[in-house]
Amino acid sequence: MSGVEFATYPSGLRLAGRRVVVVGAGQVAQRRIPALIAAGADVYVVSPQVTPAIEGLIGAGEVEWADRGFRDDDLDGAWYVIAATDDHGVNESVSRGAESRRIFCVRADDATAATAWTPAVGRHAGVTVAVLGNRDPRRSAGVRDEILEGLREGTITARHHRDRSPGVVLVGGGPGDPELMSVAGRKALMEADVVVADRLAPRELLGELPADVELIDVAKLPRGRSAQQEEINRIIVERARAGQRVVRFKGGDNFVFGRGFEEVLACREAGVPVTVVPGLTSPIAVPAVAGIPVTHRGVAHAFTVLSGHLPPEHPDSLVNWKAVAGLDGTILLMMAVENAAAIADALVAGGRPAATPVAVVCDGTMPGERTVLSTLGGLQADLASAQVRPPAIIVVGDVVAIAHPGHYA
């Protein structure tokens, strides 16, 4: 043998109906035998003692047992051998006997003396994962575990085993940080044929999509807002009808100011299957990541989430700001940067004190995240001097002072 260390040559053995000899019946053998049985091997155990678990397998007729020490002729007719005694000399003679018969032999005591190594194995959805960690079993088990986790979560795409049934999945991507997207959402993304993505969806994740996934960027669709929504409805229905799996990918949760249910209705009307994967919605998740709770015992026992995209006096506004001002608890404003000053005035006019603490969290959970602290009375001036731009969540109420006691002391 030369000093060069060659790579191993991995192979999947099909052992059904073939004799596998296991010499020794302690902990190592006990861990190996179930997989051999699962492979349909004709398992022959040679050992004067056996563990209770192996004894159970013998009793159940799942393995055959030679109740004695190893003899060279135990290897007759074997296709594969596992030398798993705690006696180096015995393992050596098993090795030698296997070598002369050209049978591959695993060694529990000395991997370098073995002609075969046992990988760390796991299975998911019809795929077998086997990892050989260059004689470092902890490492191979760790790599195997990560691969299995990736398969389960959909970050590793077993594209041939994915759900290929046509239809639309509405996926909420969370507030921006890709880490904050759900396992189910990631899996749906990885299974998609087409992804129809919004401006606020966690865009980093789009870079991870398999190369054959088509990306339709809604931010780039021409025409005004309502025509755009009709166009989106048309695209998702048409693609699903053509047999594709469509993911409608949005920031936060699709049903929170996301027009998600219009898309659900469009699909239902067209007879296209549609499912929903909720996302962490920004009015709750963004303050949380910025260290502001939306409720706090003894301070706020309710919170109200509102769209501020229309100014309070606008005829189409569906919000009764006077009533909102009269509610107890935290107010969370979305799409409200433009109309923040007018909304603050309406809340003060409705009875909230001008000194009510306000936090404006911009680009929440994203690299440029920042929080501007203010009050209802000072909001207009503070937003202007801080040059706040959307997207932002405006948090109104005493929870802001709980989170930033120094600022409001």
Return the C-alpha torsion angle 203, 393, 340, 306, nearest 10: 100
Which of 97/172 has CB closer to ligand SAH? Answer: 172
Give the nearest distance from C-beta 335 to ligand SAH in angstroms: 4
- Which residue among the candidates 74, 193, 198, 253 is catalytic per the annotation? 198
Residue 67 is a catalytic residue: no
**Residue linked to tokens 């070598």:** 99
Pick left, alpha or beta for residue 95 (phi over 0 → left; psi -120 to 50 → alpha; otherwise beta). Answer: alpha
Residues 130-159 that bind ligand SAH (CB under 6 A): none
Binding segment toward ligand SAH, per CB under 6 A, in 103-111, 220-228, 244-252, 338-346: 244-252
Residue 198 is a catalytic residue: yes
Which of 97/251 has CB closer to ligand SAH? Answer: 251
- Which residue among the candidates 73, 212, 220, 316 is catalytic per the annotation? 220
Interface with ligand SAH (CB under 6 A), residue from 13, 113, 209, 366: 366
Residue pair 92/105 in contact by the 8 Å Cβ criterion: no
**The token pair that represents 227 in the structure block:** 């025509």
Q: Is 258 in the site for ligand SAH (CB under 6 A)?
A: yes
State the Cα–Cα distance between residues 54 and 355, nearest whole angstrom: 75
Return the C-alpha torsion angle 198, 203, 209, 214, nearest 10: 30
Residues 309-338 that bind ligand SAH (CB under 6 A): 334-335
Q: Label residues 258-278 b or e (16+ Cβ within 10 Å = b).
A: bbbeebbebbeebebebebbb
Give the nearest distance from C-beta 197 to ligand SAH in angstroms: 13
Q: Is 252 in the site for ligand SAH (CB under 6 A)?
A: yes
Which of 63/359 has CB closer to ligand SAH? Answer: 359
Q: Is 191 in the site for ligand SAH (CB under 6 A)?
A: no
Strand order in the sheet with 357-362: 303-307, 330-334, 392-396, 357-362, 370-375
Residue pair 19/103 in contact by the 8 Å Cβ criterion: no
Which of 177/193 has CB closer to ligand SAH? Answer: 177
**Which residues in this chain contact ligand SAH in the complex, by CB under 6 A?**
175-176, 200, 250-253, 256-258, 281-282, 286, 334-335, 361, 363-366, 390-393
User: Which are the catalytic amino acids?
Assistant: 198, 220
